[in-house]
Chains A and B, each alone.
Chain A
Amino acid sequence: MVAFAETDASALRIREIRKSFPAPDDPVTKRLVLDGISFSVAAGELVCLIGPSGCGKSTLLRLIAGLDSTDSGELFIGSQPISEPGAERGLVFQDPNLFPWLTVRRNIEAGLVARRVLREKRNEVNEFMRLVGLEAFGGAYPHHLSGGMAQRVALARALINHPKVLLLDEPLGALDAFTRMRMQDEVLRLWENRRTTMLLVTHDIDEAIYMSDRIMIMTQRPGRIDRIITDALPRPRDRSSSDFLRLRSDILELLHFAGDSATA
């Protein structure tokens, strides 16, 4: 059922992860949120993760980021086991979470300052500001930015550390439809440009089809990987092509099925 290829080229490898949280009504009992998740992501791959709300997608990303620890299972980045947060795994949330007390430029620099390499890598700041089209806004504070701009700053801030894997937790979920489509192209451009391995969580099926090499579909709680859809369309993709629409209706059908099996 869960098909995944284990190759040495995999940038991220996850094996049999379990995670439970104390139940909200009764803190003594534990509630399983992730039930044996296994998959791997090849270097340079863009994989999407979709699933019903509350199935544990954010929890999974936090585990990969090292912000929480698993109950059991193994996580590897390359050949290194994951034990704590590290700059080689970037994370971008739905809320850009820019530091409001820093200007755009200083937000983008934050990773370099945190790793104490600002002096050597200062020239990269301009490069990344240009990359996300914000050269003119270096001195602006986050409260001046629109949602799309803020999210572009968040992307630049994560990318400046040259992460081996970029984890994206519904990064475009809060944007309006037009901005979201523009930002999808923007993220794709960054990905094609830098070939950063990306794991993108989304609740938007079109986004998943439009962007990813592979789509992993999770089931309702406890979260498991139910399906992996590998028949990606050739790039560049057309959101209104018949292939696109066919794949979309296939996935919709699958999701309906996924919903049924969760209640069973």
Chain B
Amino acid sequence: MNRAAIQSTLAGTEPERDATELTRHGSTLSWRVQWAVPLAALFDLAIHLLFSKRAPAVETHSYSLLMYEIIGVSIVLNIVQRFWMPLRSWMRHMCPIFTAAILLFGVWDVVTLGFQMLPLPYFPGPAAVLRSLISDRGLLLDSTLHSLALLVSGYAVGLLVGLVSGICIGWSGPIRYWGMPLLKVVGPIPATAWIPLAMVISPSAFVSSAGLIALAVWFPVTMLTASGISNTRASYLDVARTLGAGRTYLIFRVAIPAAVPNIFIGLFMGLGASFLTLVVAESVGVKSGLGWYVSWAQGWAEYSKVYAALIIMAAFFSTVMTLLFKVRDRVLVWQKGTIKW
């Protein structure tokens, strides 16, 4: 018996049910699923061409090209999925959401470029934003890398310090007595409120911004690590002690693993706080990165660049978030079935 088979027998899943599910997913894609995406793109294209006299030719060109590309790629995928089942089930799953997203572009185009219902220059159309995205890609990439460097260094420091202080506060009574009040008083202050002080204290804007991000991450990580450690089920500790465990084993092999689900909640909270602090710190402090780019573009009233940067930011932050989810799923395999978030 191989391991997968054992696991499925253990979990009580009958292989027959898996097989039927496979065949259901394996059947051909319906006409609607196959053509929804290209038709939506075609619709966007038609709308845009209808109003294109109002937009500069370069914008229309790149927007139309994007729509042609979407149509082309989706037709190619429609052909490939006939021979490749994983792609087919992926398409079945993703098709509605993609269609909706593409149609949303059409609506955006109608509202802005079409009927000019929203005031310019604050609300440019999708073609203008796409154009900024393309023309300013060098600076945008550079800003993203700067943001990444700042985020990673701040998050890493906050994480490490937070884990250490959380473990100490959670495990040791005296440290909890002195540390907890400090944590409760200092922790809830938003990291961004320290900006004036940080700029005075620190030699470089990068260091002070990274420090602020670290502070923003440190609080939730410490809080949740400490509570996870101090709420370790006493019976796990008892069992370990009857097995001959010393203090090192109790801390590193019982209390910390038991606290990991809690620690991850702290990591997610810290990540959210770090995004916020990053953007604020960049726009007032370091003068680089996506946060700086947004306020710089706004200063020049180039709102299509603001939206371009927001799109990059959304992609960047959600990728980082997804990465953390993946790490969590990896680390918490033993919890499978009990995680619901």
Q: List B239-282 residues whose CB lies under 8 Å from chain A.
A: 239-246, 249, 253-254, 257-258, 260
- Complex CA–CA separation, A41 to B235 (angstroms): 26
Q: Chain A interface: which size bin?
A: 35 or more
Q: Which of A22-30, A87-95, A230-238 makes up part of the contact surface?
A: A87-95
| A102 lies within 8 A of chain B by Cβ | yes
Q: Chain B interface: which size bin?
A: 20 to 34
Q: Which of B70-78, B286-294, B303-311, B330-338 makes up part of the contact surface?
A: B330-338
- Complex CA–CA separation, A129 to B299 (angstroms): 69
Q: Mark A80-115, 1 if CB is under 8 A from B, else 0.
A: 000001110111010101011111000000110111
The smallest beta-carbon distance between A140 and chain B, in angstroms, is 6
- Complex CA–CA separation, A160 to B3 (angstroms): 24
| A161 lies within 8 A of chain B by Cβ | yes
| A145 lies within 8 A of chain B by Cβ | yes
Q: Mark A59-72, 1 if CB is under 8 A from B, else 0.
A: 00010011100000
Question: Taking A137-B6, A143-B338 as contacts, is the C-beta distance between A97 and B236 under 8 angstroms?
Answer: yes
CB distance A136 to B6 under 8 Å?
A: yes
| Set of chain A residues within 8 Å of B235, measured between Cβ atoms | 93, 95, 97
| A144 lies within 8 A of chain B by Cβ | yes
- Complex CA–CA separation, A76 to B208 (angstroms): 61
| B182 lies within 8 A of chain A by Cβ | no
CB distance A141 to B333 under 8 Å?
A: yes
- Complex CA–CA separation, A118 to B244 (angstroms): 13
The smallest beta-carbon distance between B5 and chain A, in angstroms, is 10
The smallest beta-carbon distance between A168 and chain B, in angstroms, is 12
Q: What residue in chain B is nearest A67 (Cβ atoms)?
A: B238
Q: What residue in chain A is nearest B234 (Cβ atoms)?
A: A67
The smallest beta-carbon distance between B335 and chain A, in angstroms, is 7
CB distance B257 to A101 under 8 Å?
A: yes
- Complex CA–CA separation, A102 to B238 (angstroms): 17
| B11 lies within 8 A of chain A by Cβ | yes
Question: Taking A67-B242, A144-B10 as contacts, is the C-beta distance between A113 and B254 under 8 angstroms?
Answer: no
| B117 lies within 8 A of chain A by Cβ | no
Question: Taking A140-B7, A143-B337, A144-B11 as contacts, is the C-beta distance between A91 and B239 under 8 angstroms?
Answer: yes
CB distance A110 to B240 under 8 Å?
A: yes
Which residue numbers of B lie inside 8 Å of A, CB to CB? Answer: 1, 3, 6-7, 10-11, 233, 235-236, 238-246, 249, 253-254, 257-258, 260, 333-338
Given known contacts A87-B243, A144-B10, what 9 new A-B pairs fall within 8 Å (CB)? A62-B238, A66-B242, A97-B235, A103-B334, A114-B244, A139-B6, A141-B334, A143-B336, A143-B338
